[in-house]
C-alpha cells in the first residue's frame, strides 16, 4: 500500500484486479462471463445492511455518481471518487457495505431494465471488483497469526475427489484442522464457507471445462469473504497453472508441500492479492 493512499486503497491494486477480471473474458463463453458479472452484482447487493443497521446511508445522488463513474473510459474516476470518500472520513467497511453494495444493486436494476449494455455491465463490475480488491487489506483481520484450519473442496460440478481427500489427509498429519466439502453445489458450498470462520480455503479443479464454475466460486468468495485466503490446487494447477492466474487467487499450487508453505505465509504482504 502506498503511503499516499489511506485505508488500503491503492490505485495500482484496482487496475490489477480490473485486468484480472477482464482477462477472464477470452477463457469463458459469453454466457459464463455474464454469469460472473451477475454473481458479483447479486452477492455484493446481498451485503447491503438492513434498515435497522447503524451504518450511515449514502445519498442516492452519491450512488448514482459512483455508478456513472464506473462506466468511465478508465477506472481512475471511480477510484478518485472512492478515495475522496475515504478522505472525508467514510470507513472502509461502510464503503464496502453501503457504497459498493449500493452501486452493485443499482447496476443490477439498470441491467434488468436493459438500460445498460452487457459491455457496460462487465466494465462496471470489473471496476467494483477492483475497488473491492483494493480495500481487501483493510477488510481483513489485522492479526496475521491465522490458525491452521482450512476448508478443502472440489469445484462444483466435478466428481474428482481423490486428490483433494489425500491432500486433506496430508495436511491433517501436519496438525491442520481440515473440513472437507465434497460434491456440493455452488450456493450451498458458498453458504457453508460463509458460515465458517476459517481463514483458508483450498479448491481442487481438474478439468479446463470447470473454469466457469471455478471463476464463479472464486469471485463469489471474494465478495462474501474478502478476508479469505484462497488456494487453487488439483490437476489443472499442475497441467496449466497459467490459465488459473486471471482468477486472482492468493496461491496456485499442485504439490502439497508448496500449498502448505504458501498458506503459512499469510503474514507476508506479498502473499495476498
Model pLDDT for residues 106-164, shown as the tens digit of each residue: 999 999 999 999 889 999 999 999 998 888 877 765 455 567 899 999 999 998 899 99
End-to-end CA distance of the chain: 12
DSSP secondary structure letters along 123-136: HHHHHHHHHHHHHH
Query: How many angstroms separate the Cα of 229 from the Cα of each of 152, 236, 256?
Result: 12, 19, 16
Are residues 112 and 159 part of one domain? no
Are residues 15 and 119 part of one domain? yes
pLDDT at residue 72, rounded to an integer:
93
Range of the domain at 258: 149-271
- E strand spans, the chain: 149-154, 177-181, 200-204, 229-233, 251-252
Residue 57 DSSP code: P
pLDDT at residue 50, rounded to an integer:
63
Are residues 100 and 57 part of one domain? yes
Are residues 54 and 30 part of one domain? yes
pLDDT at residue 266, rounded to an integer:
55
pLDDT at residue 52, rounded to an integer:
53
Are residues 214 and 128 part of one domain? no
Judge whether 77 and 15 are in contact, CB under 8 Å: no
Q: What is the pTM of this model?
A: 0.83
Where among 116, 139, 162 does a domain terminate? 139
Where among 74, 105, 139 does a domain terminate? 139
What is the number of other CB atoms lying within 10 angstroms of the CB of residue 8?
16
Are residues 205 and 114 part of one domain? no
pLDDT at residue 1, rounded to an integer:
35
Where among 115, 139, 163 does a domain terminate? 139
Are residues 95 and 56 part of one domain? yes
Are residues 246 and 127 part of one domain? no
* CATH number of the CATH domain containing 241: 3.40.50.280
198: in domain: yes
54: in domain: yes
Q: How many domains does the chain have?
A: 2
Give the residue ranges of the chain where pLDDT is below 50.
1-8, 142, 267-273
Amino acid at each position: 500500500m502506498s503511503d499516499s493512499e489511506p485505508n488500503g486503497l491503492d490505485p495500482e491494486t484496482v487496475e490489477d484486479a480490473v485486468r484480472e477480471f477482464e482477462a477472464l473474458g477470452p477463457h469463458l463463453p459469453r454466457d459464463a462471463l455474464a454469469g460472473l458479472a451477475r454473481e458479483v452484482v447479486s452477492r455484493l447487493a446481498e451485503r447491503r445492511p438492513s434498515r435497522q443497521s447503524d451504518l450511515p446511508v449514502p445519498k442516492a445522488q452519491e450512488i448514482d455518481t459512483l455508478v456513472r463513474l464506473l462506466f468511465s473510459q478508465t477506472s481512475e474516476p471511480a477510484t478518485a471518487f472512492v478515495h475522496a470518500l475515504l478522505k472525508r472520513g467514510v470507513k472502509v467497511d461502510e464503503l464496502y457495505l453501503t457504497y459498493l453494495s449500493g452501486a452493485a444493486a443499482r447496476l443490477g436494476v439498470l441491467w434488468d431494465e436493459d438500460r445498460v449494455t452487457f459491455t457496460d455491465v462487465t466494465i462496471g463490475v470489473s471496476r467494483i471488483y477492483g475497488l473491492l480488491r483494493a480495500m481487501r487489506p483493510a477488510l481483513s483481520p489485522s492479526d496475521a497469526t491465522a490458525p491452521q484450519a482450512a476448508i478443502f473442496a472440489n469445484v462444483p460440478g466435478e466428481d474428482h475427489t481423490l486428490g483433494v481427500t489425500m491432500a486433506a489427509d496430508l495436511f491433517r498429519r501436519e496438525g491442520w484442522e481440515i473440513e472437507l466439502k465434497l460434491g456440493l453445489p455452488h450456493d450451498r458450498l458458498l453458504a457453508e464457507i460463509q458460515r465458517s470462520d476459517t481463514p483458508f480455503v483450498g479448491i481442487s479443479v481438474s478439468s479446463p471445462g470447470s473454469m466457469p464454475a471455478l471463476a464463479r466460486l472464486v469471485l463469489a468468495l471474494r465478495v462474501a469473504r474478502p478476508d479469505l485466503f484462497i488456494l487453487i490446487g488439483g490437476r489443472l494447477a499442475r497441467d496449466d497453472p497459467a490459465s488459473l492466474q486471471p482468477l486472482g487467487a492468493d496461491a496456485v499450487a499442485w504439490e502439497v508441500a508448496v500449498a502448505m508453505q504458501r498458506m503459512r505465509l499469510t503474514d507476508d504482504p506479498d502473499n495476498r492479492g
